[in-house]
């Protein structure tokens, strides 16, 4: 942990934002309160970290699942069930809201949402890669603004 905290604060923020559980939900408040980065730097490095993960997921899920399905029959059966169940459950909601649903889903800063989950959803619903990156980016920006505003409120509250 000490080695992690001995890295430049911008890199620590970027890494936290890249992790699936923390994303920018943790990286922004951590950068502001613990690392004492300026607001713009906490926001910038968190957005970059979140988007690095999103791009990697969007561009690697297809080849990874194709390889898994080809080499392991149990993976093929499991993935087929997941695809059918998930697409059946969410297809009607997605068809009503379209890609705006992806932006909103990514923008909500709660566990189970965010760039990681949004990237998986974009791949699962077959949204074109470049297009999904744009919608995920818009959601990440909105989430970053929301988390920053909430974090600044908490920082002010603790500084009273």
Q: Tens digits of per-residue pLDDT, 47-84? A: 999 999 999 999 998 888 888 778 887 877 787 777 77
**pLDDT: which is higher, 156 or 102:** 102
State mean pLDDT over 139-149.
Answer: 96
Q: What is the DSSP letter of 67?
A: H
Between CA 42 and CA 19 the distance in angstroms is 15
Q: 94, 127 in Cβ contact below 8 A?
A: no
Name the pLDDT band for 87 (thresholds 50, 70, 90). low
Q: What is the pLDDT of residue 134?
A: 96
State mean pLDDT over 113-119.
Answer: 89
| Domains: count for the chain | 1
Mean pLDDT of the chain: 86
Name the pLDDT band for 23 (thresholds 50, 70, 90). very high
Q: Inform me whether the pLDDT recorded for 97 exceeds 80.
A: no
Between CA 58 and CA 70 the distance in angstroms is 20
Q: Inform me whether the pLDDT recorded for 93 exceeds 70.
A: no
Q: Inform me whether the pLDDT recorded for 7 exceeds 70.
A: yes
Domain residues for the domain of 132 are 2-158
- Helix 73-97 vs helix 39-71: crossing angle, to nearest 10: 130
Q: 126, 91 in Cβ contact below 8 A?
A: no
Q: 47, 141 in Cβ contact below 8 A?
A: yes
Q: Which helix (H) or strand (E) holds 140?
A: helix 129-158
């Amino acid at each position: 942990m000490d080695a992690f905290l001995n890295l430049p604060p911008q890199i620590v923020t970027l890494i936290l934002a890249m992790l699936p559980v923390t994303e920018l939900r943790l990286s922004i408040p951590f950068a502001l309160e613990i690392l004492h980065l300026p607001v713009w730097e906490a926001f910038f490095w968190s957005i970059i970290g979140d988007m690095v993960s999103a791009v990697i997921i969007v561009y690697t899920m297809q080849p990874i699942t194709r390889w898994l399905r080809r080499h392991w029959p149990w993976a093929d059966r499991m993935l087929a069930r997941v695809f059918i169940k998930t697409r059946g459950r969410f297809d009607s909601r997605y068809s009503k809201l379209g890609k705006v649903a992806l932006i909103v889903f990514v923008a909500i800063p709660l566990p189970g949402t965010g760039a990681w989950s949004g990237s998986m959803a974009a791949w699962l619903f077959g949204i074109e890669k470049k297009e999904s990156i744009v919608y995920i980016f818009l959601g990440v920006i909105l989430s970053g603004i929301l988390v920053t505003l909430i974090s600044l409120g908490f920082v002010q509250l603790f500084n009273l």
